[in-house]
Amino acid sequence: MKVAGEAVLHAPVERVWTALRDPAVLVATIPGCERLVTTGPDSYDMTVTAGVASIKGSYTGTVSLAELPEPNTFLMKASGAGGPGTVSADVTVTLVEEGDATRLRYDADAVVGGVIGGVGQRMLAGVAKKLAGEFFAAVDEVLTGARSMAPAPIGEAGTAGMPTVYRDAGPGRLAARTGEPVSFILGAVFGAATALAGVLVGVRVARGGRRLDDA
Amino acid sequence: MGEPVRRVEDRRLLTGNGRYLDDLGADAVEVAVLRSPHAHAKILDIDVTGALEVEGLLAIYTYDDLTGPLADPLPLLIPHPALTHGRTQYPLARDEVNYVGEAVAFVVAENRYLAEDAAERIVVSYEVLPPVVGITAARAAEQLVHPDVPGNVAAHLVQEVGDAAAAIAAAPHRLELDLTVERSASTPLEGRGVLARWDADAQRLRIWTSTQTSTGVRAAVAVKLGLDLGSVEVITPDVGGGFGVKIVHPWPEEVLVPMAARALGRPVKWTEDRREHFISSAHERGQQQHVEVGFDDDGRLLGLSVRFWHDHGAYIPYGLIVPIITSTQLLGPYKPGAYRVEFESLYTNTVIVTPYRGAGRPQGVYAMERTMDAIAGYLGLDRAEVRERNFIQPEEMPYDHGLIFQDGRPLVYDSGDFPASLAKLKKLVGWDDWPAYQAAARAEGRRVGIGLACYVEGTGVGPYEGGHVQVETTGKVKVATGLTSQGQGHQTAFAQIVADELGVPMSDIEVVTGDTRRFPYAVGTFASRAAVMSGSAIALAARAARAKILKVAADALEAEPGDLEIVEGRVRVKGSPGAEISLGTVAVLSNPLRYAFDEASKAATQFVVGHPDQPPVGEDDEPGIEGRDYYSPVGSTFANGMHAVIVETDPDTAEIKILRYCVVHDCGTLINPMIVEGQVHGGVAQGVGGALYERMAYDESGQLQNASFMDFLMPYVSEVPASIEIDHLETPSPLNPLGIKGAGEAGVIPSAAVFAAAISDAEGFAITSMPISPSELFELRAAHAVPGQQEGDRS
């Protein structure tokens, strides 16, 4: 399944790139992300719980980012698995300067397996795009200072030889404000990752009628 | 056989204990189908974003989600060499819609309410194209339904016996008639519906569907979903009416519901609502006809040439069955002289047309009977007499018309005595007293008219049906046949057959239909074929079971099988009171056992029965008392009948009132006269609707304006004749073991013809377009009220 879209972020390309590589920002802005563990430069393990009607379960996934030769272009690879199925996606993201702002384009190619794969392409794509929009809006709020970032990391942060763990910090944070565990990977990084997570997140969004109106 | 036994299924059905499709699957998630609001349009985009916020939404499918065979058009069920431009729809519209109601998106949610909520939030962008609505527009072909189908013509078929044009040209008298019949529809009270469960552990699919062919659905779903036939089971629960529409398969929902059940791992159910049935199931009847006839001074046909144009809607999944039936069954009980028939089957941007009770015969009979009346009117002869002079005589049976019938086989009538039937009808309705009655009524200022119409109906078409009869050790008899039931009383009629063959009480017989687990080989319930086909097969299967019973019993009673009889579930030696054995014991003895499971079964264990020097089950034998057999006739068997109606039309309002309705019916041997009469009553009621009330009111943009029971006039009991007078003639069919002919559709076939005739007789001018409403009759009166108009033209 292919999903493409774009968003405008109100910060220069460099700041956007930095923000998107900041796990503290990611854990706060990715819908459904409960836990983000750095496993290396620009690579993470994630945990998400989906509380979906017919697709309940805990999902784990990995996300990695790599720059591509083209300027301001990088590739996000994400994969996740849980009870209802599997998702993997390659997302190409391009950042283009637009005055003081940045236009972000994403092209995702996702493979969805298991029951999730059975909900219909348009629905998956629709959810992915919708959540991508919400994710970028949340990132944009961070970039413009409309949203304050709680200090992170927490937990095992700083312990020598241990990975750094980021958790969604609860009230005041995007995901937690919804009052429910949120779904998966989508966000994994950019809204682009939405393509994949879109599936899981989407189902629960559909179920809960949740709206991130402020995002 | 032959007894008016009360229907055994009625107590259950009438006390609300029927189990229809929507009564099943309480745990299933449900479906709403988003349908095209346009008759003809390109789909530019489908945006589901708005639907995603609906709580409980589970899945949305569009054409892009269909893979493999599912992405292909649905089957063209009955191919024909003349069907050169056959088109069928995709389960979900791909890039174009061709009728209002075509399925575009398939929405699954926790329940129907939520699915509907989500469906209405899906935004589909269309580029609307000019639609083709009605036969006149289809013939004009200024617009095309399918760009690659020139002239909107799917098929052009000609059949000719002799040189009709020459015969007509040489005839002493000639007439031409232009006739039209509008659309109506089966309109069963229960619409369609499908429930599917996917067993992921066993990788098996179980489907319940409100269909007229469970085996047809099974085969189609297996192919569409890439499953082995053995992995698919189809069960037909109680069905609240079919009347033809449910013989079409697979409907889009019949493949999509199982697809969703497999994809989501949840049972999925879809139940059609009334509007959906009107706009997305099937209609029938719509035709334009042109008749040319040549005849002699006595009204005998010398040549008959009929052209007609058949509206089959946007697609043609059921092939040419309806127009082929019109073109052949038009001949009725008559010898047409040289006969030529030509039809075009045309695409329009409207709902598909597939067989509806009568299946093309009402239109054909209408053409022929209007012609008979026109000849009588032209020559000033009695309408019954003109008919009688053209009858095929009983001694001419079997009568070969030299045409090919809907089953691909020669049109050969097997039985019937048309003069005898007409004599019965004339007596029943008091035909010879009519002129005096009418004159007296006219003297009082009343307008009354009598109509007469005859038909012949090919019933019991092949290829085959089968039956299975098993006697259990309790003595109870389990009967199964593969075709389905929609209220015909099969549980009663088939049990009567078995009761006669096996000598067991009706109460000990259970009949199962339409369950592929019980009988996997079958065709379906259509063409008035269930009693003929499955009835015969079950009789043959029961006879096989009976032979086995007598063999086992003869051994046990130390008698010859020929000396035995079965009475009330016991096998006895004729003339030897006390020498008897119950059927249950026979069943026990028929199955040699190692292990006893109760007192009775001890009788079949290894130290009790059998000969030490013989195998317990003989080489050509099987354990148990079972019979399985099939019935597959060379051709159809032809039932026939004649109807007469007396109507009175209001001189001011043109309201049409039925004074009497008389039926003479010949369906061969009667299994249950009460059921046959019930079928006739139902058919007449449906015929009254088709003749006087029902039509499909499409506007010029292809919107069906009366797609509800508020606007579509179905006859209530208040519109159906209070008394339908019926007489039977039994000319047994030589083609099957019971001598039976079908009866399911008969009552509806001559309705348009007989009402048109009666109203013409009452009004003095010819009715050429049916159905007819009081308003239309009022307008016709005005149009005919010109100087020089004469009364007395009864044609």
Interface with chain B: mutation pick from A52, A199, A207, A210, highest number of B CBs within 10 Å: A207
Contacts of A122 in chain B (CB under 8 A): 46, 48, 60, 62, 64-65, 105
Look at residue A163 in the predicted model and tell me its pLDDT.
63
For B563, which DSSP code? Answer: G
pLDDT at res. B681: 95
Predicted confidence (pLDDT) at residue B795 exceeds the cutoff of 60: no
Which pLDDT value is given to residue A118? Answer: 79
Confirm if B411 and B458 have CB atoms less than 8 A apart.
Answer: yes
Please judge whether B60 and A127 are an interchain contact, meaning their C-beta atoms are less than 8 angstroms apart: no
Residues of chain B contacting A211 with CB distance shorter than 8 Å:
53
Cβ contact, residue pair A120, B62, below 8 Å: yes
In 3D space, the residue among B508, B678, B631 whose CA is nearest the CA of residue B13 turns out to be B678
pLDDT in tens, A136-178: 888 899 998 887 665 445 444 444 455 677 776 543 333 332 3
> Given an 8 Å threshold on Cβ–Cβ distance, is A118 in contact with B264?
yes
Residues in CB range of B710: below 8 A, 6 or more apart: none
Q: Name the β-bridge partners of A2.
A: A109
Q: What is the DSSP string of B720-761?
A: S-S-EEEEE-----TTSTT-B---SSGGGTTHHHHHHHHHHH
Kindly state whether residue A125 falls inside one of the protein's structural domains. Answer: yes
Tell me, what's the pLDDT at A181?
Answer: 27
The contacts of residue B147 (CB under 8 Å, 6+ apart) are: none
> Average pLDDT of B702-725?
92
- Chain A residues in contact with B52 by the CB 8 A cut-off are 123, 126-127, 130, 202, 205-206
pLDDT at B129 over 60: yes
Domains in chain B, CATH or no CATH each: 10-129+186-280 (3.90.1170.50), 287-461+634-784 (3.30.365.10), 465-631 (3.30.365.10)
CB B656 within 8 A of CB B692: yes
Mutant choice from B45, B52, B198 vs A, greatest count of A C-beta within 10 A: B52
Contacts B110 to A, Cβ<8 Å: 53
> Per the structure block, which two tokens stand in for A150?
């709680």
Rounded percentage of chain B residues whose pLDDT exceeds 90: 93
CA dihedral A38→A43→A49→A52, nearest 10 degrees, is 170
**CA separation for the pair B89, B250 (Å, rounded):** 11
Residue A22 and residue A36: Cα distance in Å, rounded? Answer: 11
Q: Read off the pLDDT band of B672 (50, 70, 90).
A: very high
CA distance B132 to B39: 8
Distance CA B474, CA B683 (A): 40
Has residue B722 got a pLDDT over 50? Answer: yes
CA angle, residues B305, B314, B407, in degrees to nearest 5: 50
Chain A residues touching B47 at Cβ < 8 A:
126
Phi, psi dihedral angles at B707 (to 5 degrees): -85, 50
Domain extent, residue A61, equals 2-205
CA–centroid distance for B249 within its chain: 14
Among candidates A123, A205, A208 on the partner chain, residue whose Cβ is nearest the Cβ of B59 = A123
pLDDT at A48 over 70: no
Suggest the residue from A52, A55, A112, A123 to mutate for an interface test with chain B (most B CBs closer than 10 A).
A123
Alpha-carbon distance B454 to B333, whole Å? 7
User: Hey, what's the torsion of the CAs at B40, B41, B47, B52, to 10 degrees?
Assistant: 0
- Min Cα distance B260 → chain A (Å) is 7
Amino acid present at B31: V
Alpha-carbon span B44 to A41, nearest angstrom:
44
Q: Which residue has the higher pLDDT, B787 or B1?
A: B1
pLDDT mean over B707-735: 93
Distances B596 to B379, B667, B692 between C-alpha atoms, Å: 82, 49, 66
Where is pLDDT greater, at A130 or B771?
Answer: B771
Task: With beta carbons less than 8 A apart as the criterion, state whether B443 and B747 touch.
Answer: no
In this structure, what CATH number is given to the domain that contains residue A95?
A: 3.30.530.20
Nearest to B56 among A121, A126, A207 (CB): A207
Closest CA to B795 of B299, B437, B107: B299
CA distance B364 to B308: 10
Give B488's contacts (C-beta < 8 A, 6+ positions apart).
B525, B530, B531, B675, B679, B744
Number of domains chain A contains: 1
Phi and psi at B641, nearest 5°, equal -170, 170
Q: Tens digits of per-residue pLDDT, B276-307?
A: 999 999 999 999 999 999 999 999 999 999 99
Provide the Cα torsion B468, B471, B477, B480; round to 10°: -20
Is residue A203 very low, low, confident or very high in pLDDT (cuts 50, 70, 90)?
very low
**Cβ distance of B58 and A119 shorter than 8 Å:** yes
Choosing among A121, A122, A213, which should be mutated to test the B contact, i.e. which has the most B CBs within 10 A? A122
pLDDT-above-70 percentage for chain A: 63
Distance from CA of A133 to the nearest CA of B (A): 12
pLDDT band at B141 (very low <50, low <70, confident <90, very high): very high
Residues of B in contact with A31 (CB under 8 A): none
Beta bridge partners of B724: B661
- Taking contacts as CB-CB distances below 8 angstroms, the residues of chain B near A209 are 53-55
Q: Please write the tens of the pLDDT for every residue from A67-122.
A: 888 888 989 888 888 766 777 888 899 999 999 999 999 998 888 777 777 788 88
CA distances from A56 to A59, A116, A174, B579 (A): 10, 11, 22, 69
CB within 8 Å: B52 and A205: yes
- CB atoms B55 and A208 under 8 Å: yes
pLDDT at B474 over 80: yes
Q: Residue B362 gets which letter from DSSP?
A: H
Question: Minimal Cα–Cα distance from B230 to chain A, Å?
Answer: 24
Confirm whether A118 is domain-assigned.
yes
| Strand partners of residue B353 | B283
Q: What is the reported pLDDT for B667?
A: 94
pLDDT value of residue B724? 95
Q: Using the beta-carbon criterion (under 8 Å), do B59 and A121 form an inter-chain contact?
A: no
Answer yes or no: do B52 and A130 touch at CB < 8 A.
Answer: yes
B760 CA to chain A: closest CA distance, Å?
Answer: 58
Task: Sheet with B570-573: list strands edge to edge.
Answer: B564-567, B570-573, B580-582
The rounded distance, in Å, linking the Cα atoms of B276 and B260 is 20
Would A211 be classed as within a structural domain?
no
C-alpha angle with apex B613: B608 to B615, nearest 5 degrees? 75
Contact B263 A121 (CB under 8 A): no
Q: Which residue has the tokens 């009567």?
A: B496
Burial class (CB in 10 A: 0-12, 13-18, 19+), B145: buried
- The answer to whether the CB of B565 falls within 8 A of the CB of B503 is yes
Would you state the pLDDT for residue A52? 37
Shortest Cα distance from B196 to chain A (angstroms)?
A: 15
Q: Mind telling me how many Å the CA of A129 is from chain B's nearest CA? A: 9
Q: What is the mean pLDDT of residues B200-204?
A: 95
Determine the distance in angstroms separating the CA of A146 from the nearest CA of chain B, rounded to an integer. 26
Per DSSP, what are the bridge partners of residue B643?
B453, B663
* A210 inside domain: no
Q: Return all residues near B72 (Cβ < 8 A) that are at least 6 apart.
A: B90
Residue by residue, DSSP assigns B287-308 as EEEEEEEEE-TT--EEEEEEEE
Do B48 and A126 count as a contact with CB atoms less than 8 A apart?
Answer: yes
Asked if residues B523 and B215 have their Cβ atoms less than 8 Å apart, the reply is yes
Show the DSSP H helices in B611-749 as ranges: 673-692
Give the DSSP letter of residue B184: B
In this prediction, residue A55 has a pLDDT band, given cuts at 50, 70 and 90, of very low
A186, pLDDT greater than 90: no
Nearest C-alpha in A relative to B262: A118
A166 within a domain of the structure (yes/no): yes
Which residue in B255, B214, B238, B352 sits closest to B31, CA to CA? B255
Fill in the DSSP letter of residue B442. Answer: H
Taking CB atoms and an 8 Å cutoff, what residues of chain B touch A54? Answer: 29, 58, 264-266
Q: Which of B55, B264, B265 sits opposite A209 (nearest CB)?
A: B55
Of A17-21, B40-44, B382-386, B694-698, which gets the smallest average pLDDT? A17-21
Chain B residue with Cα closest to A210 = B53
For chain A, the average pLDDT equals: 69
The reply to whether residue B58 touches residue A203, judged by beta carbons under 8 angstroms, is: yes
3-state per-residue secondary structure call for B215-235: HHHHHHHHHHCCCCHHHEEEE
Closest listed residue to residue B107, CA positions, set B58, B142, B149: B58
| Residue in the block written with tokens 């220069």 | A12
Q: Which helix (H) or strand (E) holds A122?
A: helix A121-144
Give the model confidence (pLDDT) of B547-603 as tens digits: 999 999 999 999 999 999 999 999 999 998 889 999 999 999 999 999 999 888 888
- Please judge whether B59 and A115 are an interchain contact, meaning their C-beta atoms are less than 8 angstroms apart: no
Chain A residues within 8 A of B49 when measuring between CB atoms? 126, 129-130
Looking at residue A128, its pLDDT comes to: 77
Which residues, 6 or more positions from B263, have their beta carbon under 8 angstroms from its beta carbon? A115, A117, A118, A119, B59
Query: Cα separation of B267 and B199, whole Å?
Result: 9
Q: Is residue A213 part of a domain?
A: no
| Contact between chains at A54 and B60 (C-beta distance less than 8 A) | no
Can you give B146-177 as a three-state secondary structure string? CCCCHHHEEEEEEEEECCHHHHHHHCCEEEEE
Residue A27: per-residue pLDDT: 78
pLDDT at position A33, please?
74
**Residue A114 neighbours by CB under 8 Å, 6+ apart:** A84, A85, A86
User: What is the rounded average pLDDT for all residues in chain B?
Assistant: 95
Mean pLDDT computed over B539-544: 97
Query: What is the predicted pLDDT for the residue at A159?
Result: 46
* Cβ contact, residue pair B263, A119, below 8 Å: yes
Across the range B757-778, mean pLDDT stands at: 97
Q: Which of A54-63, B131-140, B218-227 has the lowest mean pLDDT?
A: A54-63
Separation in Å, CA of A194 to nearest CA in chain B = 14
Interface probe with A: pick from B33, B34, B54, B57, most Cβ of A within 10 Å: B57
Check whether B456 has a pLDDT greater than 50.
yes
Contacts of B554 (CB under 8 A, 6+ apart): B560, B561, B563, B564
- Considering the entire predicted model, what is its pTM? 0.89
- Is the predicted pLDDT of residue A212 greater than 80, yes or no? no
- How far apart are alpha carbons B328 and B342 in whole angstroms? 11
Whether the predicted pLDDT of B767 surpasses 70: yes
**pLDDT tens figures, B602-611:** 888 888 888 8
Is B501's pLDDT higher than 80?
yes
The answer to the question of residue A103 being in a domain is yes
Alpha-carbon torsion A171, A173, A177, A182, what sign?
negative
| Smallest CA–CA distance from A212 into chain B, residue | B53
**Which residue carries 């009715």 as its tokens?**
B767
A122 closest CB neighbour out of B46, B53, B110: B46
A56, part of any domain: yes
- What pLDDT is attached to residue B34? 97
For A121, name the nearest residue in chain B, comparing CA atoms only.
Answer: B65
Please give the structure tokens belonging to residue B183. 């659309």
* A53 vs B contacts (CB less than 8 Å): 56, 58, 110
Those residues of chain B whose CB sits closer than 8 Å to some CB in chain A are 29, 46-49, 51-62, 64-65, 105, 110, 260, 262-266
